[in-house]
Amino acid sequence: MVTAAPSDFASRHRELLEQALVAIRKREYFSAYPESPSPKVYGEHAAADGRAAFEAWLGSPFPLATPGGDGVVATETSPFGIDVGVSYPRVRPDGIETLLAVAAEAIPAWRDAGPDARSGVCLEILARLQARVFELANAVMHTSGQAFVMAFQAGGAHALDRALEAVAYSYDEMTRHPEAAIWEKPGRDEPLRMTKTYTVVPRGIALSIGCNTFPTWNSWPGIFASLVCGNPVVVKPHPRAVLPLAITVQVCQEVLAEAGFAPELVTLAAEDPADGLAAVLAVRSEVRLVDFTGSNAFGDWLETHGTQAVVFTEKSGVNTVVIDSTDSYRGMCFNLAFSLALYTGQMCTAPQNLFVPAAGIDTDEGHQSYDDVAAGIGAALDKLLGDDAKAVELLGAVVNPGVLERLDAAPTRGRVLVESRPVAHPTYPDAVVRTPLLLGLDLDDAEVYAEECFGPVAYLIETPSTAESIETFRRTAREHGAMTASVYTTDEAVLASMRSASLDAGVALSENLTGQVFVNQSAAFSDFHGTGANPAANSAYTDAAYVASRFRIVQSRRHA
Amino acid sequence: MVTAAPSDFASRHRELLEQALVAIRKREYFSAYPESPSPKVYGEHAAADGRAAFEAWLGSPFPLATPGGDGVVATETSPFGIDVGVSYPRVRPDGIETLLAVAAEAIPAWRDAGPDARSGVCLEILARLQARVFELANAVMHTSGQAFVMAFQAGGAHALDRALEAVAYSYDEMTRHPEAAIWEKPGRDEPLRMTKTYTVVPRGIALSIGCNTFPTWNSWPGIFASLVCGNPVVVKPHPRAVLPLAITVQVCQEVLAEAGFAPELVTLAAEDPADGLAAVLAVRSEVRLVDFTGSNAFGDWLETHGTQAVVFTEKSGVNTVVIDSTDSYRGMCFNLAFSLALYTGQMCTAPQNLFVPAAGIDTDEGHQSYDDVAAGIGAALDKLLGDDAKAVELLGAVVNPGVLERLDAAPTRGRVLVESRPVAHPTYPDAVVRTPLLLGLDLDDAEVYAEECFGPVAYLIETPSTAESIETFRRTAREHGAMTASVYTTDEAVLASMRSASLDAGVALSENLTGQVFVNQSAAFSDFHGTGANPAANSAYTDAAYVASRFRIVQSRRHA
């Protein structure tokens, strides 16, 4: 094994860290990891090599050891229908004691290394994850159902940017105070002089609970924020999306060991789903940080029961589009159709509730009735998804049977405006692919639209007026949460009213998106993902509140 | 009523804010509010005027109106024996609905004012509290039992510094991102350009639960951090220490109204203790922030039950002194005696457990046995407290009957090394004043010393060795919490070991204090009060973690 001093990593990545520190203050465009999977960027063989590396894992035991592990589990199923069959060390509830004890033992040396050394190690991990980005993209694709390019971007490059962003915020907070200061208080005779030392100490063991749809993008910010702040991290992946996080843990352990730290600072806790391992881990006294992405039910449970820890949750909500008027009707229909189709609507940021006034809307193509808008979105979906080969690159595949069940049950709940249809995948004959369903509802169908129907189901809701649309958005977002909101209007007063409602409801707002930016997307270093200001999430990627509680400052003082 | 634009206040206090912003980055000495009650500083009549203003409240209804209030309560008793008898609007549990509704209505205008205007208003409030600092000092003295000079300093000037510190940290975090940014992503044809807006929004209604001993010092940081971040604050004072917070609320309302904001942004919720109002308020869905100082039992209850809110607690712990050796034996004994006597040990930072090796310690005055150390501390206490008139200026008075009961019950739990005695107060014949009790214990008396005995009771604990002392400190602080730790040693290895134990236990350490700095004291802008890293507190005054969760950022974006 090649060994390196942690300071080597710190100096190797110092410039990148400095750039990221500037970027988080400006919130302008910044990206450190190219999002294009082009051979011109990543080299001629990168794609094939990455794919081969991914395929080499299939059907094999993944070479990781987890303290307290007992046997193996193999719980993944590809939404594209290939056999995955990778097995991982299984952690049972009775192995947790050992796992946490080993993690705790690793704390002092990692703590004492300090923010610079820890940042260097974390940025080296990100560099090596980038070197395996094609392998990771395949792993994300075949566990989440994302199409390849999306898996490469959202699951690779953009996830790396989000991780870097979290490291930068953490570093910024850890180093905002000096390591030492001289305190000199004027006195009657002579000043009192004290030397004071301020040391960043970790909060404790961190638990990262992964999700099925975005195993890396949603987990890396929390994992790297906790790790760089000095906390060991136990990674509990979603049973259907283990491989991307197993690779992550492997890379973490490799770099930690090279730098002379205990590899068990980052461990994989794969489970048999029947063990409900996350709930067992999340209430342990040693676990002081929990990051979670997933259902409202379990997220709320964690917030209520994991009171010994700081719990960061991203759950779900009902994302709303208020359609009032537009100066680009085609652009609007295309943009909405794209947002509904992208990854089969399986994004926590995908729009669900589209409000249209009963009187219709004014557009650059004349007045359009409610039915016209439905037809316009339908036509845009047809255009985007008419060709199966192109459709699958946008849709990806249905991530799990739950989504399919919800889709199948949905049509009875409203008027079918645009039907969902199965799409045959030209490469993967067993892939489960569906186009979005658009259902017509009325304003009093709140029992349907006030609940999230995760997957390719959206509602076109007829309202008495735009004012009513905005008021309903404000109320449903406050009560049921929302990750995103969107408005189409040419009326400044409507815009002002929607902005005000978004502040009241604590929801990020996209205005008049008619081009190549979609409400589902949030850009690292510029867009905050989630706000923590409504029930959809109690935190945001990434702000100071997301990192500042992951460490503590312990001081000592003495006469100078 | 004189009205002022919020921007007037902001520009009036801009320079002070800038100074505070520098101070929180340096953590060197900084103070904005002179701690000397001298007429040379505050003017010839300030002391008499302040006292008269305080006395004018006695026996009267305090002129505040609280929405949802019903009748009045008068619950205060002066530890110095004077009649207080001030009555305040009573909030009963069934008045909470109204109180919270009125507070919530005030949010949008206060939110929309922005961080600069809010900071200006808060700093104007602090300026007017300073103008009433002698009145406040009398109010703190006669509710907490602090001697006058301490009440002036800890309850006035230092509390103002802590409040300013909290405002500065909050302002720094709220303004770390720009209000707007241009995001320009390079594209194949032309760049994608978006304008993004970032708005700070409050978390919701804040609840501040005051304590008996430090009604202002412990409450102001949370009150002003919440308020400046846009949150209305409901102030629930300790029933025995209402007046200092009633004056605080009065000043807040006066300045808010002058600046055109709803005075109900800060309200006083005085209670009949039987109503248990804090517990009712703390679990309301509208309450999103809770600040608490007080008992472990209720603090733990809040952390476990107030899961809809971010809960900041300062509870209690067992503060430890490890005595190994010293090059200033007299200085050490004096310093320890002073720390034990100051405000009758009724400080969350006062030392309780003094560990001494059975073999005794090496000092500049030769080897001193365990019994010698007990005698040394006893002699220092005699010197400090031998004269009643001087003693009461250090001791103050016993804050409440609970402290007296614990003191009376203590002697049976160990060997009495230094007796506690009543002191006659030369000015207040009904004042309840006691000197500290020092009890001898052995290392296996953990059931006694592992629990906090709040008040003038300390333990001199004989241990087999300093190594054992340090290990016991590490364990008890981790399990039972500690706000402070202290070490006396001339041995670098012992110092290193104690520093390491302090990091493990997450306790602030004072080393070899033999002069005019005492372990009980923490200086705003330099010392962090509490760490949040052990069970004694889950937060610190003031760091980023203390403020960053008090607001959220809501963004909007549109094509540029």
3-state secondary structure string, A299-324?
Answer: HHHHHHHCCCCEEEEECCCCCEEEEC
- Three-point CA angle A494, A500, A503, nearest 5°: 145
How far apart CA B456 and CA B263 sit, in angstroms, is 41
| Chain B 155-184, residues with CB within 8 Å of chain A CB atoms | 173, 176-178, 181-184
DSSP assignments along A382-397, one per residue = HHHHSSHHHHHHHH--
Residue to substitute from B283, B549, B550, interface A, most A β-carbons within 10 A: B549
Residue of chain B minimizing CA distance to A509: B556
Contact (Cβ atoms closer than 8 angstroms) between residue A454 and residue A510: no
Give strand pairing partners of B209: B236, B292
Residue A2: pLDDT band (50, 70, 90) is: low
Contact (Cβ atoms closer than 8 angstroms) between residue B269 and residue B281: yes
If you compute the radius of gyration of chain A from its CA atoms, what whole number of angstroms results?
24
CB contact under 8 A, A181 and B26: yes
CB contact under 8 A, B513 and A559: yes
Average pLDDT, chain A: 97
Domains parsed from chain B with CATH numbers: 40-316+540-559 (3.40.605.10), 320-511 (3.40.309.10)
- What six digits make up the tokens of A388? 């199966």
- What six digits make up the tokens of B99? 């109180």
Residue A7: per-residue pLDDT: 74
Report which of residues A8 and B23 the model is more confident about: B23
Helical pair B243-258 and B107-131, crossing angle rounded to 10 deg: 120
A515 interaction partners in chain B (CB closer than 8 Å) = 192, 559
CB contact under 8 A, B552 and A558: no
Nearest to A27 among B28, B196, B499 (CB): B196
**pLDDT greater than 70 at residue A3:** no
Q: Does A511 touch chain B (CB under 8 A)?
A: yes
Distance from CA of B75 to the nearest CA of A (A): 33
How far apart CA B262 and CA B150 sit, in angstroms, is 34
Q: Does A480 touch chain B (CB under 8 A)?
A: no
Residue A451: pLDDT band (50, 70, 90) is: very high
Average pLDDT over residues A318-323: 97
Contact (Cβ atoms closer than 8 angstroms) between residue A293 and residue B289: no
Nearest to A515 among B29, B303, B559 (CB): B559
Contact (Cβ atoms closer than 8 angstroms) between residue A481 and residue A454: no
Residue to substitute from A179, A479, A554, interface B, most B β-carbons within 10 A: A554
Distance from CA of B519 to the nearest CA of A (A): 10
B559 interaction partners in chain A (CB closer than 8 Å) = 512-515, 517
Nearest to B556 among A27, A198, A509 (CB): A509
Nearest to A506 among B303, B545, B554 (CB): B554
| Chain A 7-36, residues with CB within 8 Å of chain B CB atoms | 25-29
Residue B491: per-residue pLDDT: 98
All residues at 6 or more sequence positions from A33 whose CB lies less than 8 Å from its CB, including other chains:
A126, A130, A133, A156, A157, A158, A160, A161, A164
Q: Does B430 touch chain A (CB under 8 A)?
A: no
Average pLDDT over residues A41-70: 97
Q: How many CB atoms lie within 10 A of CB B366?
A: 9
The percent of residues above 90 in pLDDT, for chain A, comes to 97
Residue of chain B minimizing CA distance to A515: B559
B552 interaction partners in chain A (CB closer than 8 Å) = 506, 531-533, 540, 545
Residue to substitute from B310, B335, B503, interface A, most A β-carbons within 10 A: B503
A506 interaction partners in chain B (CB closer than 8 Å) = 201, 552, 554
Residue of chain B minimizing CA distance to A558: B511
How far apart CA A531 and CA A552 sit, in angstroms, is 23
For the stretch A368-377, contacts whose Cβ atoms lie closer than 8 Å and that sit 24 or more positions apart, written own/partner, are: A368/A329, A370/A460, A370/A462, A373/A323, A373/A333, A373/A460, A374/A417, A374/A418, A374/A438, A374/A440, A374/A460, A376/A329, A376/A330, A376/A332, A376/A333, A377/A333, A377/A336, A377/A337, A377/A340, A377/A417, A377/A418, A377/A438, A377/A460
User: What are φ and ψ of residue A330, in 5° steps?
Assistant: -60, -45
Query: Which residues of chain B carry a pLDDT beneath 50?
Result: 1
CB contact under 8 A, B510 and A185: no
Residue A5: pLDDT band (50, 70, 90) is: confident
How far apart CA B100 and CA B86 sit, in angstroms, is 25
B41, burial (CB in 10 Å: exposed 0-12, middle 13-18, buried 19+): exposed
| Chain A 190-209, residues with CB within 8 Å of chain B CB atoms | 192, 194, 196, 198-199, 201, 203
CB contact under 8 A, B553 and A559: no
CB contact under 8 A, A533 and B526: no
